[in-house]
Structure 1
Amino acid sequence: MTETKTGKAGLSRRGLLGAFAATAVTAAPTYSQAAGFLRGAGDVRRIRMYNGRTGERLDSIYWIEGEYLGEVMNEINAFMRDWRTGSQITIDTRTVDIAAAAHRLLEVDEPYMLLSGYRSPQTNAMLRRNSSGVASNSLHMRGQAADLRLQSRSMSQLADAATACRSGGVGRYSGSNFVHVDCGAVRNWGS
């Protein structure tokens, strides 16, 4: 994986919220509202994650001046693959935007710990047999969801930041200390 380094943008949380308020009115209803939080980030969008299962790290600028970078998106697809089977799918850019926007709102440099990105149908079926919290038609199988954790922020703080994006589903899994984010319908669950 290629690591890309960039300086921290000098925009406060208040500035991000102001940028969102100014752009939310014109945003298309089918486009991720998370992009509004990222507009204040300048001409770049960045995602930082690591995977404790594979030991891989990702620190990449994936969007510059209005365009997603195909090569970097391919790296994100590979990083967020089903680590159990090695299979991968195209990750929905809206999911990456939601994760990046929530991360920016939390004002942390620490990368996310990715617990689950893409899941093959086989992996999803196996997890479903072992847990009642796994949906049979999970958005993970479409590359539209991620399960994330931060050491320096509570599960509630991360969930609140993702919810503030008003861009998809946010699930709190307190028993396992992670937050599910997806680019599906706006909804919340868990405690």
Structure 2
Amino acid sequence: MKTSSITRRALLGAFAATTITAAPTLTNAAGFLRGAGDIRRLRMYSGRTGENIDTIYWIEGEYIGDAVKEIWHFMRDWRTNSVKQIDLRTIDIMAASHNLLDATEPYMLLSGYRSPQTNAMLRARSSGVAKNSLHMQGQAADLRLASRSVGQMARAAQACNAGGVGRYSRSNFVHMDCGPVRTWGA
């Protein structure tokens, strides 16, 4: 990971000095992932831990190491308190999809990293949990937005053309990962 030594104060100054433009359209989502934006930001909350995160993690081609580490900690397995490095591609897909939705509310994170123990426990409870889930590799997230439908969220993630997108309409969430490009669910 290429990181910058930008301080939080400099980061906030850069953000304040930047004019935020309209969200990209679905047709240019791939361009956003290739670095067409000056700033990448991720906003989430966890109903499980009560934590919130609102951080700029990338500026003008460089990941901000401290911000990325905050995201990794936030996306930890809350059951075991284990932290894993979340694949930057997954973080970028999440941020790009959120931008495409032009949503102001933060994502609700339902599941980020899962330890093997947590994955096995969830798998025993549900047939919808993969034995070799990308969650265990730090390459997936299950997300919800109250202001957007599962279909809207899935279409935004699919527009990124950068990984797997699962629709879980009955449970009201979307799975996003940086694995092979594929879709499933209804």
Range class of TM-score, shorter chain:
0.7 to 0.9
| Match in the other structure for 1:131 | 126
1:88 aligns with 2:83: yes
Aligned counterparts, 1:10-21, within 5 A: 10-14=21-25, 17-18=27-28, 20=30
**Could you say which residue in structure 2 is the equivalent of 1:189?**
184
Structure 1 residue 64 displacement after superposition: 1.1
Q: Alpha carbon RMSD of aligned pairs, Å?
A: 1.9
1 CA distance for matches of 2:178 and 2:121?
A: 23
What aligned pairs does 1:15-164 form with structure 2 within 5 A after superposition?
17-18=27-28, 20=30, 23=31, 35-36=33-34, 39=36, 41=37, 43-164=38-159
State the Cα distance separating 1:11 from its structure 2 match: 2.9
Runs of 4+ in 1 over 2 A off after TM superposition: 4-8, 11-14, 16-20
Counterparts of 2:40 and 2:135 in 1: how far apart (Å)?
A: 22
Q: Show CA shifts across 1:55-113 (max 9, x none).
A: 10010000012111111111001000000000010000000000000000001111000
Q: Deviations over 1:132-154 (max 9, x none)?
A: 00000000000000000000000
- Determine if contact 2:97/2:153 at 8 Å carries over to the other structure: yes
Taking structure 2 as the reference length, what is the TM-score of the superposition? 0.87
What SS is found at the alignment partner of 1:72? helix
Q: How far apart are the structure 2 equivalents of 1:59 and 1:12?
A: 17
Equivalence for 2:166: 171
Shift of 1:12: 4.5
1 or 2, which has the higher helix percentage?
Answer: 2
Question: Deviation digits for residues 102-137 of structure 1, max 9, x if unmatched?
Answer: 000001111000000000000000000000000000
Compute the displacement of 1:17 (Å): 3.4
| 1:13 shift after superposition | 3.3
For 1:160, what is the secondary structure of its paired residue?
Answer: helix
**Letter matched to residue 67 of structure 1:** E
The DSSP-based 3-state class of the residue aligned with 1:13 is coil
Letter in 2 for 1:128: R
CA distance in 1, matches of 2:122, 2:23: 40
CA 1:48/1:19 → structure 2, altered by over 3 Å: closer, same or farther? closer
Gaps of 5+ in 1: 24-33
| Partner of residue 26, structure 1 | none
Percent identity over the alignment is 63
Amino acid at match of 2:120: A
How many pairs align?
173
- Letter aligned with residue 47 of structure 1: L
